[in-house]
Structure 1
Amino acid sequence: MTGLLVLTAVPAEAEAVRAGLTDPTVTVRAIGVGPAVAGATTARLLALAEAAGRPYRAVVSAGIAGGFAGRAPVGGTVLASRSVAADLGAESPTGFIPVDELGMPPELLGGGPTIDADPALLGALRAALPAAVVGAVLTVSTVTGTAASTTALADRHPDAVAEAMEGYAVAVAAAQAGIPFAELRTVSNPIGPRDRDGWRMREAFTALTEAARALS
């Protein structure tokens, strides 16, 4: 079994992770933005490694995220207790209906709309990153950008600390391959109405490099 596979959405995130690593057996790849490309590319990487007789020991989805105000500070680090397909479901006159409440069996959902982080992997990351905020990290296809949608999402997921666009998809691929999974994010901006002037990308990338030391 080879080392850890760390997957980011974009090259800048991958570079920030690599800058904090000291373990040469950790593989870092930028796999693209959004659940579709993230899930497909993760599955391909895991299948190729297994076919070559060098399966990875674990998979971590890492990168920058938006944080829920009052739950995860800008510039802070979050660890997912679970990765959630937050917009997989149906609209209704009374509000959003999660896909598991529509009668879909879990096996048709890759294990369900929520995948827990591997306890041992999460425990190791928590020990190495004691200041990190732990909670649900939501995966969305459309980034939240209004006060109303932010409130609705926070109310539906009271344990959510951040949202990103790839974690759940990577988690499904890892689960299908029987490989431990975790998600690590650093916060660049509060979730809500888009305010590019309020984003702190430099601080988030610096925090990502510092957090990546826990992956070595």
Structure 2
Amino acid sequence: MTGLLVVTAVPAEADAVRAGVADPTVTVAPVGVGPAVAGAATARLLALAEAAGRPYRAVVSAGVAGGFTDHVAVGGTVLGTASIAADLGAESPEGFIPIDDLGMPPALLGTGSTVTADPELLAALRATLPTATVGPVLTVTTVTGTAASTEALRRRHPEAVAEAMEGYGVAVAAAQAGLPFAELRTISNPVGPRDRDAWRLREALAALTEAAPALR
């Protein structure tokens, strides 16, 4: 068995993680943006490692994210207690209906629209990152960019601390492989009306490098 697989969306995030963890047992790979491509690429990496007789022992989805500012500040670090497919479902006159309530489970192994982080892996990360904000991380296919959509997410997921675009896909790939999963994010911008000039991507990548030693 090999070590930990850490997947990010883009190369800049992978570089930030590698800058903070010099450990040959940790593999860091950028797998693309969005839950579909991230999930498919992660599943392929896991399958290839297993076929080679060197399966990974756990999977972490890592990178930058938008944060719900009533829970976490820009530049902060988040550990996900669960990865939730927040926009997987159907619209209705009464509001959004999650996929779980439509009688159409989106994945095997009973994952539904929520994959809970592995308790032992999460506890280990929390012990190394005691100041990190802990809570659910939403996975979206469209980044939230208006006050109305932000408020709708807050109503449906009041405990959510951040939103990103890959965690749920990666979590499902890990679940299908029977591996522990966790999500680590650093905050580059508030969730809300889109203002790219206000994003603090450099600071979030620096925070990701600072958090990366927890992955050893």
> What is the TM-score normalised by the length of structure 1?
0.98
Alignment of 1:3-42 (within 5 A): 3-42=3-42
In the TM superposition, residue 196 of structure 1 has moved relative to its aligned partner by 1.3
**Separation (CA, whole Å) in 1 of partners of 2:121 and 2:98:** 27
In the TM superposition, residue 104 of structure 1 has moved relative to its aligned partner by 2.1
Q: Which residue of 1 aligns with 2:187?
A: 187
Give the aligned CA root-mean-square deviation in angstroms. Answer: 1.1
Work out the number of aligned pairs and report it.
Answer: 216
- The one-letter amino acid of 1:207's match is A
Structure 2: any 5+ residue segments left out of the alignment? none
Report % sequence identity.
78
Are the equivalent residues in 2 in contact too, given 1:140–1:165 (CA < 8 A)?
yes
SS at structure 1 position matched to 2:189: strand
**Separation (CA, whole Å) in 2 of partners of 1:108 and 1:43:** 14
In the TM superposition, residue 103 of structure 1 has moved relative to its aligned partner by 1.4
Q: Which residue of 1 aligns with 2:55?
A: 55
In the TM superposition, residue 110 of structure 1 has moved relative to its aligned partner by 5.7
Alignment of 1:17-166 (within 5 A): 17-105=17-105, 108=108, 111-166=111-166
**Separation (CA, whole Å) in 2 of partners of 1:105 and 1:94:** 21
SS at structure 2 position matched to 1:134: strand
> What is the TM-score normalised by the length of structure 2?
0.98
In the TM superposition, residue 24 of structure 1 has moved relative to its aligned partner by 1.5
In the TM superposition, residue 180 of structure 1 has moved relative to its aligned partner by 0.5
Regions of 4+ moved over 6 Å: none
**Separation (CA, whole Å) in 1 of partners of 2:107 and 2:122:** 24
Are the equivalent residues in 2 in contact too, given 1:110–1:176 (CA < 8 A)?
no
Are the equivalent residues in 2 in contact too, given 1:67–1:189 (CA < 8 A)?
yes
